[in-house]
Structure 1
Amino acid sequence: MPVIDVKHLTKTYTTYKRGAGMGQTFRSFFKREEVSVQAVNDISFAIEQGEICGMLGPNGAGKSTTIKMLCGALYPTSGEISVLGYSPARDRKRYVGKIGAVFGQKSQLIWDIPPVDSFNMNKAIYGISTPDFNHRLEELAALLEISQVIEKPTRVLSLGERMKCEFVMAMLHQPDILFLDEPTIGLDVIAKVKIREFIRQMNKKLNMTCILTTHDLEDVEELAHRVIVINHGEKVFDDSLQRLKVFLGEKKQVSFTFVESVQNTPFDNDYTKVVERPSDFQVTLEVDTARISISDFLENISRKHGFSDISVKELPIQQVVMNIYESAQA
């Protein structure tokens, strides 16, 4: 039986159009035009105990709204949510003790006091015994290597140190389910590696279920067993990471800055597609690495053109969604 069961979930917001200029602003005091925005549209999925599920989608796709409804912070407009047998919005008081949450752009820490004082506040809120609290705090601080920083005021900590403390706040009561919304946003490579390793260890040790929303495909590749892609409030993909790679075709995005103009140079062929040409000397290409290795591709380009700069990246999430739509239409 799944620990998270979502059926036909929908969330619609009602907002108002005010218009621009003094005249329209004045009229809006007496009559406002209602605008309905459907953030989530008829989404269904189920997640098993101990699973790490990545939730992908471009900005405004409905990922964060879905997470907030699963946490109980928002009431759904329609549909059903069952998490650990609870209805998150209706059973919030009993439910919140079973979950943890880390939001990359919202902090649980109090700015002017040390994180350890915020940890003690959570100890009281969740009714954690002193021996359990001390043991868990020592273990978590050691795993995240923040034993020396938790007594400094939060405001003087680096972003990486604050995010590690956010994870301690979320994990002190040992939740059954952890919701992660952009947990590595803005972090450097080293901090990202530490956070990912921590999530893996907690998942393995506690058999903890994790829902991860992110724009970082590396987070998903390193952590997730399964991927759900949402676009315009609708679920467009729900399967394993391996299946997602089939949709992507193992493609990379390669950007060049050439030493001479390539304005009239064609690059499109069976394994390469031009994504954009920012200038006469720059071009970004989508390369199918299932058909040609990156090393062979770069060697082919270097034989014909000299370049001064190059970057190789995963496809952006917008391109991921586009490829999924193209595959479905085909």
Structure 2
Amino acid sequence: MSQVIQVRDVARTFTVRRKKGLLRADRLVVEAVRDLTFDVAAGEFVGYLGPNGAGKSTTIKMLTGILAPSAGRIRVAGLDPSRRRTALARRVGVVFGQRTTLWWDLPLKDSFTLVRHLYRVDRERHRARLAELCEVLDLGPFLHKPVRQLSLGQRMRGDIAAALLHDPPVLILDEPTIGLDVVTKAAVRGFLRGLNAERGTTVLLTTHDLGDIERLCRRVMLIDHGRLAFDGTVDQLMATAPEETSIEDVVTRLYTGAAPETPRA
């Protein structure tokens, strides 16, 4: 299987100022990510977990070209994200659960039209893909409503559709089910599962909702303090703490250091 995402010895540091007295400030170097190495093969559905501040969002920003690594090498769909960000955008779809990519005051359908022009998608191809996404995600009832009038669940389905209109082979999701009700969450999970199984789309999912991991992911990576603490299947993860009965308890033990680190699969 070809490796769609390759991360090699990646580090990312930030310099922050910490106030010291009234007129002075110290410069502090913070390691958000360090010595990070992993691959994601074509067609995989991988969960990427970690507590707040562990380095998940920094990793996602480097994979999408928003940030450049301080050290190491990254390739996504064969491209260096920070150097080929525009070209990468045509091969990768990205959804940030807490930040919409849609135009707030425009009807949802008009947002999709703008997305078509941004990605230079052929009109007929766009029409066919939009019809497919509208059917699967049930977008029809609110296509003509301004984005600002949509519920969180409707907006999230719209964001997912916008990320997939150009039919990218890679989808990166950052908290895509945050704040969704049970019914909408089940619908989004079902859509993502089908997208991966039927179209072979490679999916990297970051989430704090471990129900997403249990229902969608075959492989799980855990990052803690900027380093990869676990990389393996869900079954292998559960085997690290056989006395526990839920994935939430196992993950908590790994975060707190109560369970031993396992070799990468």
Q: Which runs of 5+ in 1 are unaligned?
A: 254-312
Residue 74 (structure 1) aligned with residue 67 (structure 2): yes
How is 1:64-103 mapped onto 2 (pairs within 5 angstroms)?
64-103=57-96
How is 1:124-143 mapped onto 2 (pairs within 5 angstroms)?
124-143=117-136
Offset from partner CA, 1:248-274 (integer Å, 9 cap, x none): 426258xxxxxxxxxxxxxxxxxxxxx
The answer for the alignment partner of 2:162 in structure 1 is 169
How is 1:235-246 mapped onto 2 (pairs within 5 angstroms)?
235-246=228-239
Q: Structure 2 CA distance, aligned partners of 1:194 and 1:217?
A: 16
How is 1:40-119 mapped onto 2 (pairs within 5 angstroms)?
40-119=33-112
The answer for the alignment partner of 2:145 in structure 1 is 152
How is 1:312-323 mapped onto 2 (pairs within 5 angstroms)?
314-315=248-249, 317-322=251-256
Offset from partner CA, 1:6-42 (integer Å, 9 cap, x none): 10010000010124xxxx34x13xxx31011111011
TM-score, normalised with respect to structure 1: 0.76
Q: Structure 1 CA distance, aligned partners of 2:57 and 2:42?
A: 21
The answer for the alignment partner of 2:5 in structure 1 is 4
SS at match of 2:235: helix
The AA in structure 2 aligned to 1:70 is L
The AA in structure 1 aligned to 2:66 is A
The answer for the alignment partner of 2:183 in structure 1 is 190
Kept in 1, the 8 Å contact 2:254–2:260? The answer is: no
Kept in 2, the 8 Å contact 1:102–1:183? The answer is: yes
Q: Structure 2 CA distance, aligned partners of 1:250 and 1:139?
A: 45
Q: Which of the two has higher C-alpha Rg?
A: 1
The AA in structure 2 aligned to 1:38 is E
Kept in 1, the 8 Å contact 2:230–2:261? The answer is: no
Q: Structure 2 CA distance, aligned partners of 1:102 and 1:123?
A: 16
Residue 322 of structure 1 deviates from its aligned partner by 2.6
Q: Structure 1 CA distance, aligned partners of 2:118 and 2:244?
A: 47
Compute the RMSD of aligned alpha carbons.
1.7
TM-score, normalised with respect to structure 2: 0.93
Q: Which runs of 5+ in 2 are unaligned?
A: none
CA change 1:316–1:184 in 2 (3 A) is farther
Q: 2:197 aligns with which of 194, 204, 222?
A: 204
Residue 316 of structure 1 deviates from its aligned partner by 8.0
Q: Structure 1 CA distance, aligned partners of 2:241 and 2:187?
A: 28
Residue 326 (structure 1) aligned with residue 259 (structure 2): yes
Query: Identity percentage over the alignment?
Result: 40
The AA in structure 2 aligned to 1:154 is V
The AA in structure 1 aligned to 2:97 is G
Q: Structure 1 CA distance, aligned partners of 2:110 and 2:86?
A: 23
The AA in structure 2 aligned to 1:6 is V
The AA in structure 2 aligned to 1:220 is I
Residue 145 of structure 1 deviates from its aligned partner by 1.0
CA change 1:328–1:137 in 2 (3 A) is closer
Residue 105 of structure 1 deviates from its aligned partner by 0.8
Residue 315 of structure 1 deviates from its aligned partner by 2.7
Residue 320 of structure 1 deviates from its aligned partner by 4.1
Kept in 1, the 8 Å contact 2:170–2:202? The answer is: yes
Q: Structure 1 CA distance, aligned partners of 2:179 and 2:243?
A: 26
Offset from partner CA, 1:223-246 (integer Å, 9 cap, x none): 111110000101000011110111
Kept in 2, the 8 Å contact 1:215–1:317? The answer is: no
Kept in 2, the 8 Å contact 1:73–1:89? The answer is: yes
The answer for the alignment partner of 2:14 in structure 1 is 13
CA change 1:192–1:3 in 2 (3 A) is same
Kept in 2, the 8 Å contact 1:39–1:232? The answer is: yes
Offset from partner CA, 1:43-91 (integer Å, 9 cap, x none): 1001110001100110110011101101111100000011121111111
Q: 2:222 aligns with which of 217, 226, 229?
A: 229
- What number of residue pairs does the alignment pair up? 261
CA change 1:241–1:50 in 2 (3 A) is same
Q: Structure 2 CA distance, aligned partners of 1:174 and 1:326?
A: 40
Q: Structure 2 CA distance, aligned partners of 1:248 and 1:151?
A: 50
